[in-house]
Amino acid sequence: MRKSLAVAGMMLATGTSAFGQQVEPIEYTLDNGMKFLLLPRDEQPNIITAGWISPVGSVNERPGITGVSHLLEHLLFKGTDAIGTSDPELDEQYREQLTEIREKMRAYTLDVQYDRMMKGEIDNPWDPANDTDELRAMRAEMTAIQDKQAEITIKNEFDSIYTSNGASGMNAGTSNDFTVFYINIPSNKLELWAWMESDRLDNPSMRELDAERFVVIEERRQRLEATATGKLDEQFDSMFWVASPYGWPVIGWMSDLMAYTEDEIYQYFETYYQPANLTGVIVGDFDPAEAEQVIESYFGRLENKRAAPAPMVTHTVPLLGEVRFTGECDCQDQVEVRYRSVPFGHPDEAVFDVMADLLNGRTGRLYKSLVEEKEIATRARASNQSNHFAGSFSFSGVPKGRAELVDLEAAWYDELERLKTEPVGERELQKIKNQKAADTFRGLEDNSSLFFQLAITEAFGGYEYLNEMPKRVQAVTSEDIMRVANKYFNEHNRAVALYTRKGGVKPLLTLEDVKASLPEDMAGMLMPQIEMQLEQMSSLGLEELKSGLEEMKSMDGQYPPQLATAMEYMKQQVELRIQELESAGESNATEGDDQ
Amino acid sequence: MRNATTSILTGLALLTGAQAIAASDIPAHPSGIEYEELVFEPPVASEFRHELSSGVPVFMAPSHEFPLVTIRFSFKGGEYMEPEGKAGLAGLTGQLMRSGGNSAFGPNELDEEFDFLAADVSASVGGTTSSASINCLTSNFDEAYGLFVDMMKTPRFDEKRLGVLKSQILEGLKTRNDDGLQIAIREMGFLMWGMEYFEGRVSTKQSIESITTDDIRALHDRIFHPGNLMISVTGDFDEQEMLAVLEKTVAGWSMGELAPDVPQPTHVFEPGVYYYEKEQPQVQVLIGHRGIERDNPDAVSVEIMNDILGGSGFTSRITNSVRTREGLAYTAGSVFQNRVEYPGIFMSYFFTKTPTTAFATKLVFDEFETIQKEMASTDEIEIMQNSAIETFPRTFESKAGMLGIFMSDERTGRPEGHWQSYRDRVRGVTQEDVQRVANEYLHPEDAVILVVGPWEEIKAGNAASEADPNRIVTMDAFFGGNATELPQRDAETMKPVQQTVKKD
């Protein structure tokens, strides 16, 4: 086997390492401030992944326009003055007519429909099913204009131009912190990419705005409302982040999705999508000198029309007490315990990442302890998410069999105590570092993976992070882990979410469960006793059973732990017998009344 | 510090003196841009193919960009070999093979070794093929690979690990009615393939509980042996050295009975509207029937036809009408899932709010009708032809993906020269072909329409919310308004249960 010296060294070293991989793109900035990162690479011949990123996301929004970053991302696929219509002038007229009727409908809705909602007459003022006759008439008028506009619309031309030129995987993504647009193109189509992208940055038409709102609403339903835990997760997020804009969903609150005006959307676009706020990234099989020429010609045309956007201002306040959120859904019982961690680039970020890895995987602490040893979880994991301006670290788990959510929560606090008080062993820590180092290579093997890493780190402050972070990971010590665990994780700054299955009931304990719970020597002795007591129970009356149950409850916590399941079982059987007797009494009484 | 680093990913050229294209040379529309011709010849399998002395084919494609090597052992055999009553055995076999230890180490010790060596190891038993693979650093290849081969040939199948895996699966079974899409896919499988055939079959509490390490060992031994084997290697290695390593791996590994061929499905489905009652704010709709075999001579024409209909994202008609024009769904499209041994499924799909289910369904049926009755324009066909031809190189973009295709082609007997002639065949598709295959392979009148959601509201349609009378549709528009209610199923046993869903 060929050996790589740098890597062989890393595997032997403990602590500091000669970590070798460097990502060094060509950096290039246009006169208008738009920056480019170019990374030529011929491992995947004839193919380029290209795109651009704006450091704008839901954190830049405010109540009333939540979700606008994401809707805008959708609208940027709707063509331009040149793309998407066979008659730009007529199209312009229709767009003006649509704006007019839309403004009328909005004003009417905020007045009449909101009033009806506040009086309790309707639930959702924006739902067409709640239209008044007047509003219904306006909506019909809007539909009629849209139908006329459709006659001169070249359907999805933006996409079909790319498609017929061999581009694939055209998409975009919006997060809390950034919005990114990307595509795979054949090597000879770089000029087409520059044409299309600079054109939509220059004069997007935002055609079909009204239909696209409904598309986004369906996306919200698909991703969130029609999923098992989506709606609860969204509320837990908003409780966890308190003041910070990370508290609202990227896709936006339902009430806001219908409400943005075209003007609000354009202003948002002009502020955050001016060239000085953007970075272009090209990875793959291309000649950088030719690329530079194309970039200069096309993206060099773009102008900054507004002052630079204001930085994100509202940082979150610390959690001053424990937050607990309980909810029911059509879902597995599950628990999450979440803490504030640190933002992207913070010196402790690497420590959180290593800590999550110590806990995860089949050789991680959570699997060993919660899944294998204690057998209270079927799934348990930890994760750190360092966003641009703030981060969170969380534990989550799904209980096994009769284990309760609180059992998982308690087991997590035990693990946390270990992290706070015991130094991590040398081999355990080295294992994580070895995996992290190998994963760094794995992440560089593919054009699109490289594209996203370059784009996102650059949007967050600089791609150099890609070269710096692996070194920081290799430098994490067991002392760092103890320090960070003690500093960030305590009972006063955590948020706990406990979800249980709607209408769910715990399965009843059986004699088999009791037998399995007892140590072997005790089982032989106790099982016959338990069975005898069960037999005796059938001869007891309601009052005797009730006082017996009270007595058993009063002794909770005083039994040796190995008897806990046996006692639970006895209480369960007494309760069942009481229910049986009581319901028999009730049905007798009912029959009596009828007679 | 700087000296100790290697710069593998460095921009090579210096950026000086590049001349921008003059503004006046920028065309008004991208159709005015001229491109250099891009020459691409598809790779030929035989140039990458080797054979071990036992006849096992080995496909190799080295690249030395990173100090990593990936070896994939691919075997014929899979889920279709599960004995009756043992649904889930295939999945469990792959999982326990990976996590149940090998002859030298117990499960925990082996996991610790792999993790410390930073080796990515996997094993799986899929529908018709199975695999075991390793991706590791070249620096510790010998050690990691030795442990991996031991795991693949003589897995320990630890009982305790089986218990953990089963409890995870059993817990997962409880969630099978939580997500509407999961219900829709499962019920469509039952309708199309029946509950017994491996394509439709799902595991149950009973089937999982009944699985023993003996069952697992038996399936492992039938699949994981050199008689069913092909190997691919990518990454940083020397071909001759690698062949010697693989020769040693396979030597002395006893040849078992060859895995049987995939059985033919026998289930016949009943067209019509079916619904599965579920209270949720969005309805999942699947419209489908049986499709075509992979090697059907019309496959390329069907591909182009379906790209126009709903298979090519925004540019296709269903996406355009259901999503872009009417705003009724975020996801909408159609797909032919071709199978090698028997016709697969054709399916159109979308997710929409309850009242617009019928309207969106009608739009999809309108598109079926249009593509059958009217010839597609040459422009529309050309866009899809160009796309198929220009994206063709991507099929072979990653070396691992390319070798995967070669292995699959050899195993399934794909006709010689398939890839070499592919672009010509695409270019040859005519307007007449598209219309002919639309009529031959789309059967809306014999389709299943499956919806998951609150039926009474779905059925009633969009009269209460639609401003344009011409857009009002109810479910009466399909199959004469007849619909069959599918039984609510117990999530764990999949047995029908009494209807407990509340109706207002």
Q: What is the pLDDT of residues A352-372, one digit of tens each?
A: 999 999 999 999 999 999 999
Average pLDDT, chain B: 93
Query: Is residue B59 pLDDT above 50, yes or no?
Result: yes
Q: At residue B95, what is the residue type?
A: Q
B7 to chain A, any CB pair closer than 8 A? The answer is: yes
Query: Is residue A515 pLDDT above 70, yes or no?
Result: yes
Query: Is residue A331 pLDDT above 80, yes or no?
Result: yes
User: What pLDDT, on the 0 to 100 scale, is given for residue B16?
Assistant: 41
**Alpha-carbon distance B46 to B49, whole Å?**
5
**Alpha-carbon distance B425 to A262, whole Å?**
47
The pLDDT-based confidence of B35 (bands split at 50, 70, 90) is: very high
Partner residue facing A7 (CB), from B139, B237, B390: B139
Query: Is residue B116 pLDDT above 70, yes or no?
Result: yes
Q: 3-state SS of A55-112?
A: CCCHHHCCCCCCCHHHHHHHHCCCCECCCCECCHHHHHHHHHHHHHHHHHHHHHHHHH
Within-domain flag for B260: no
Is A298–B26 a contact, with Cβ atoms under 8 angstroms apart?
Answer: yes
**Prediction ipTM score:** 0.91
Q: At residue A189, what is the residue type?
A: K
Query: Is residue B3 pLDDT above 60, yes or no?
Result: no
Kindly report the nearest CA distance between residue A121 and chain B, in angstroms.
16
Q: Which residues fall within 8 angstroms of residue B260, CB to CB, at 6 or more apart?
A: B81
- Contact residues on chain A for B10, CB-CB shorter than 8 A: 22, 24
Taking CA–CA distances from B383, the nearest residue in chain A reads A164
Within-domain flag for B18: no
Within-domain flag for B79: yes
Which tens digit of pLDDT belongs to each residue from A461-482?
999 999 999 999 999 999 999 9
- Contact residues on chain A for B25, CB-CB shorter than 8 A: 297
User: What pLDDT, on the 0 to 100 scale, is given for residue A99?
Assistant: 96
The pLDDT-based confidence of B32 (bands split at 50, 70, 90) is: very high
Backbone angles phi, psi at B364, to 5 degrees: -65, -45
Query: Is residue A378 within 8 Å of residue B171, measured between CB atoms?
Result: yes
Kindly report the nearest CA distance between residue A190 and chain B, in angstroms.
9
The pLDDT-based confidence of B489 (bands split at 50, 70, 90) is: very high
Based on the fold, state whether residues B56 and B165 are members of the same structural domain: yes
User: What pLDDT, on the 0 to 100 scale, is given for residue A525?
Assistant: 81
Residue A159: HSE in the Cβ half-sphere, 13 Å Cα cutoff: 23
User: What pLDDT, on the 0 to 100 scale, is given for residue B238?
Assistant: 97
What the block records as the tokens of B137 is 């650093």
Full DSSP string of B177-220: TT-HHHHHHHHHHHHHHTTTSTTT----HHHHHH--HHHHHHHH
B401 to chain A, any CB pair closer than 8 A? The answer is: no
Based on the fold, state whether residues B305 and B243 are members of the same structural domain: no
Taking CA–CA distances from A19, the nearest residue in chain B reads B5
B282 to chain A, any CB pair closer than 8 A? The answer is: yes
User: What pLDDT, on the 0 to 100 scale, is given for residue B452?
Assistant: 98
Residue among B139, B161, B279 with most chain A CBs within 10 A, to mutate: B139
Taking CA–CA distances from B40, the nearest residue in chain A reads A46
The pLDDT-based confidence of B13 (bands split at 50, 70, 90) is: very low
Answer with the one of B186, B216, B250 that is the final residue of a domain: B250
Based on the fold, state whether residues B179 and B293 are members of the same structural domain: no
Taking CA–CA distances from B315, the nearest residue in chain A reads A160
- Of residues A111 and B504, the one with the higher pLDDT is A111
User: What pLDDT, on the 0 to 100 scale, is given for residue A576?
Assistant: 82
Kindly report the nearest CA distance between residue A330 and chain B, in angstroms.
5
Kindly report the nearest CA distance between residue A493 and chain B, in angstroms.
31
Angle of CA points A293, A294, A298, to nearest 5°: 120
Is A363–B108 a contact, with Cβ atoms under 8 angstroms apart?
Answer: yes
Q: Strands across the sheet with B120-125, in order? A: B49-51, B57-62, B229-235, B68-76, B129-137, B120-125
**Residue whose structure tokens are 């069942």:** A576
**Residue whose structure tokens are 């676009």:** A269
Is B164–A371 a contact, with Cβ atoms under 8 angstroms apart?
Answer: yes
B241 to chain A, any CB pair closer than 8 A? The answer is: yes
Q: Nearest Cα to A150, choosing from B379, B384, B385, B468?
A: B468
Query: Is residue A12 pLDDT above 70, yes or no?
Result: no
Within-domain flag for B22: no
Cα B440 off chain centre by = 25
β-bridge pairing A47-54 and A179-186:
antiparallel
Partner residue facing A445 (CB), from B18, B66, B384: B66
- Contact residues on chain B for A190, CB-CB shorter than 8 A: none
B99 to chain A, any CB pair closer than 8 A? The answer is: yes
Domain housing B305:
272-485
- Contact residues on chain A for B174, CB-CB shorter than 8 A: 332, 501
The pLDDT-based confidence of A586 (bands split at 50, 70, 90) is: low
What the block records as the tokens of A109 is 């809705």
User: What pLDDT, on the 0 to 100 scale, is given for residue A523?
Assistant: 81
Mean pLDDT of A206-228: 94
The pLDDT-based confidence of A21 (bands split at 50, 70, 90) is: low
User: What pLDDT, on the 0 to 100 scale, is given for residue A593?
Assistant: 38
Taking CA–CA distances from B111, the nearest residue in chain A reads A363
Cα A8 off chain centre by = 37
The pLDDT-based confidence of B494 (bands split at 50, 70, 90) is: very high
Q: Nearest Cα to A148, choosing from B428, B152, B468, B112?
A: B468
Within-domain flag for B30: no
Which tens digit of pLDDT belongs to each residue from B183-197?
999 999 999 999 999
Answer with the one of B189, B219, B250 that is the final residue of a domain: B250
Q: At residue B220, what is the residue type?
A: H
Based on the fold, state whether residues B98 and B223 are members of the same structural domain: yes
- Of residues B60 and A509, the one with the higher pLDDT is B60
Based on the fold, state whether residues B344 and B407 are members of the same structural domain: yes
Query: Is residue A391 within 8 Å of residue A340, measured between CB atoms?
Result: yes
Query: Is residue B468 pLDDT above 70, yes or no?
Result: yes
What are the residues facing A395 on neighbouring strands?
A337, A382
β-bridge pairing A47-54 and A279-284:
antiparallel
Based on the fold, state whether residues B448 and B412 are members of the same structural domain: yes
Query: Is residue A405 pLDDT above 80, yes or no?
Result: yes
Query: Is residue A564 pLDDT above 90, yes or no?
Result: no
Mean pLDDT of B227-249: 97
How many folded domains does chain B comprise?
2
Q: Nearest Cα to A293, choosing from B20, B402, B345?
A: B20
Beta strands in A317-366 (DSSP E): 323-329, 334-340
Mean pLDDT of B129-141: 97
- Contact residues on chain A for B314, CB-CB shorter than 8 A: 77, 156, 158-160
Which tens digit of pLDDT belongs to each residue from A304-318?
999 999 988 898 889
The pLDDT-based confidence of B175 (bands split at 50, 70, 90) is: very high
Based on the fold, state whether residues B200 and B115 are members of the same structural domain: yes
Beta strands in B278-434 (DSSP E): 282-290, 332-337, 345-353
Is A164–B331 a contact, with Cβ atoms under 8 angstroms apart?
Answer: no
Residue A198: HSE in the Cβ half-sphere, 13 Å Cα cutoff: 24
What the block records as the tokens of B325 is 């024009």
- Of residues A534 and A175, the one with the higher pLDDT is A175
Return left, alpha or beta for B272; rule: phi > 0 is left, psi -120 to 50 is alpha, else beta: left
Query: Is residue A83 pLDDT above 90, yes or no?
Result: yes
What are the residues facing A397 on neighbouring strands?
A335, A380
**Distance in angstroms between the alpha carbons of the first and the last residue of chain B:** 71
Q: Which residues fall within 8 angstroms of residue A12, CB to CB, at 6 or more apart?
A: none
Query: Is residue B440 pLDDT above 50, yes or no?
Result: yes
Query: Is residue A544 pLDDT above 90, yes or no?
Result: no
Based on the fold, state whether residues B433 and B311 are members of the same structural domain: yes
Q: 3-state SS of B258-323?
A: CCCCCCCCCCCCCCEEEEEECCCCEEEEEEEEECCECCCCCHHHHHHHHHHHHHCHHHCHHHHHHH
Based on the fold, state whether residues B245 and B278 are members of the same structural domain: no
Based on the fold, state whether residues B88 and B143 are members of the same structural domain: yes
Mean pLDDT of B78-106: 98
Is A442–B467 a contact, with Cβ atoms under 8 angstroms apart?
Answer: no
B153-B154-B160-B165 Cα dihedral, nearest 10 degrees? 10
Is B171–A372 a contact, with Cβ atoms under 8 angstroms apart?
Answer: no
Which tens digit of pLDDT belongs to each residue from B280-305?
999 999 999 999 999 999 999 999 99
The pLDDT-based confidence of A20 (bands split at 50, 70, 90) is: low
**Residue whose structure tokens are 């739009």:** B363
B10 to chain A, any CB pair closer than 8 A? The answer is: yes
Query: Is residue B14 pLDDT above 60, yes or no?
Result: no
**Residue whose structure tokens are 């409780």:** A239
Mean pLDDT of B13-28: 61
| Residue B427, domain CATH | 3.30.830.10
Based on the fold, state whether residues B332 and B366 are members of the same structural domain: yes
User: What pLDDT, on the 0 to 100 scale, is given for residue A557?
Assistant: 66
Backbone angles phi, psi at B201, to 5 degrees: -60, 145
Which tens digit of pLDDT belongs to each residue from A37-80?
999 998 888 899 999 999 999 999 999 999 999 999 999 999 99
Instruction: Give chain A's largest Cα–Cα span.
Output: 99
Within-domain flag for B239: yes
A558-A563-A567-A570 Cα dihedral, nearest 10 degrees? -150
**Alpha-carbon distance A546 to B126, whole Å?**
56
User: What pLDDT, on the 0 to 100 scale, is given for residue A437?
Assistant: 93
Within-domain flag for B101: yes
Q: Nearest Cα to A580, choosing from A545, A553, A547?
A: A545
Rounded alpha-carbon distances, angstroms, from residue A387 to A242, A320, B245: 16, 21, 45
User: What pLDDT, on the 0 to 100 scale, is given for residue A513?
Assistant: 75
B457 to chain A, any CB pair closer than 8 A? The answer is: no
Query: Is residue A6 pLDDT above 80, yes or no?
Result: no
Mean pLDDT of B129-137: 97
User: What pLDDT, on the 0 to 100 scale, is given for residue A54?
Assistant: 98
**Alpha-carbon distance A410 to A406, whole Å?**
6
What are the residues facing B122 on neighbouring strands?
B133
Residue among B6, B277, B488 with most chain A CBs within 10 A, to mutate: B6
Based on the fold, state whether residues B308 and B216 are members of the same structural domain: no
Which tens digit of pLDDT belongs to each residue from A184-202?
999 999 999 999 999 999 9
Average pLDDT, chain A: 90
Query: Is residue A591 pLDDT above 60, yes or no?
Result: no
Within-domain flag for B4: no
Q: Nearest Cα to B269, choosing from B200, B174, B184?
A: B200
Return left, alpha or beta for A211; rule: phi > 0 is left, psi -120 to 50 is alpha, else beta: alpha
Partner residue facing A196 (CB), from B30, B142, B282: B30
The pLDDT-based confidence of B337 (bands split at 50, 70, 90) is: very high
- Contact residues on chain B for A131, CB-CB shorter than 8 A: 465, 467
Q: Nearest Cα to B71, choosing from A222, A1, A382, A366?
A: A1
Q: Nearest Cα to B143, choosing from B121, B122, B126?
A: B121
**Alpha-carbon distance A48 to A448, whole Å?**
9
Kindly report the nearest CA distance between residue B268 and chain A, in angstroms.
32
Kindly report the nearest CA distance between residue A564 and chain B, in angstroms.
22
Which tens digit of pLDDT belongs to each residue from A231-249?
999 999 999 999 999 999 9
Kindly report the nearest CA distance between residue B274 and chain A, in angstroms.
20
Q: At residue B502, what is the residue type?
A: K
